[in-house]
Every structure is written in structure tokens, then in C-alpha cells.
Structure 1
């Protein structure tokens, strides 16, 4: 039997999905802009907007992860706490590099 997993963003899931649907629409719009030979700067402006929207989702997910998964693991202590802290640090490093 499969164990149910509760993720940090569980309470914000609908909001995250709504934002991702909006981003999906932005990306479809970008595709259309390129197909229609839209001016480069206008396309780049929309790429920037989509990138910022994805970054906002990433930050929300990271915040939820820290507030739930990492805090819960830290309360328990031990190897799992160290693992969750390392995961969070690695995720932050990836976001900073992007």
C-alpha cells in the first residue's frame, strides 16, 4: 500500500496551479509571437515576464518547503533534518544561479 505524502505547498496548491496555468498561457503567447514574427524586443520582454512569474512560483514553493518540510524535519532532528536542510540549500543555490 502506498503511503500518502503531504507536500509543503499543500495548502497553497490551488494558487500554485493557477499561477502555473497563467504562465502556461504566457508561454503559448510567446510561441505565437515567434510564429507571427513579432519584434525581437517585444518577445524578449514577454520572456522576461514569464521568467519572473516562474521565479515567483519557485520562491513560493521554497518558502512553503522551508516553513513545513524543513521545520518539521528540524523538530524531529537527526539525519532527515540534515537532508532537508541540504535540499533547501541546494534549491536556493539553483535559484540564485538561474
Structure 2
């Protein structure tokens, strides 16, 4: 997937919650999200054209998979940077936050 170097360290700048992705990672994420946005517009067009339901569902499934991929990429970066940094600084509350986050992702 991504290397640890693709994610910048320090998720907190002046105690604000920020994410610091490299330009390479940001570009990758934006590209994926633009593709997903196009898929959503395509699904809308299929519905407007009364396309066979199974074909629409197939496109929805592909779009969900693409969105899940973006979520996994973001989670990986979060784990490699923010979570590691907070644990190294003695902040174990990040584990509770992480469990909630993973729970949200797994609901999908």
C-alpha cells in the first residue's frame, strides 16, 4: 500500500487536530475521490435512465469498495503517524478513539 514515509508526522499542530499527508498521498486521495464522485454521478444517471436494478447495484458496490479503499488508506496513515505519536507521548486515550473509528469503518 503506502510507505510510512508517505505520511508526515505530527498530527497536532498547536493542539489543533490536523492531518499532515505528503503531497503524494493527498494527490492519490483526491484522485480516488474524484473518481468516486464520477461514479456517483454515473449511478445517478443510471437511475434517471431506468437502468436495470442489478446493474445499478453493481455500480453501487464498486463505488462502496472504492470509498472503503480511501478509508483504509486514511486509517493506515493515521495509525502510522497520529496513533504512534500519541502512544509514544503516553496518551493511551487514542486507543479508545481508534476503536471507535475502526468500528465505524467496519459497519460499512
How far apart in 2 are the matches of 1:29 and 1:65? 31
| Count of aligned pairs between the two proteins | 93
Output the TM-score relative to the length of structure 2: 0.79
Output the TM-score relative to the length of structure 1: 0.86
Unaligned runs of 5+ in 2: 1-12
More helix as a share of residues: 1
Contact between 1:62 and 1:88, CA under 8 Å: does it hold in 2? no
The equivalent position to 1:62 in structure 2, one of 63, 75, 79, is 75
How far apart in 2 are the matches of 1:89 and 1:5? 18
Unaligned runs of 5+ in 1: none
2:16 is aligned with 1:7: no
Aligned to 1:83: 93
SS in 2 for 1:16: helix
2:57 is aligned with 1:44: yes
Runs of 4+ in 1 over 4 A off after TM superposition: 2-6
Aligned to 1:94: 104
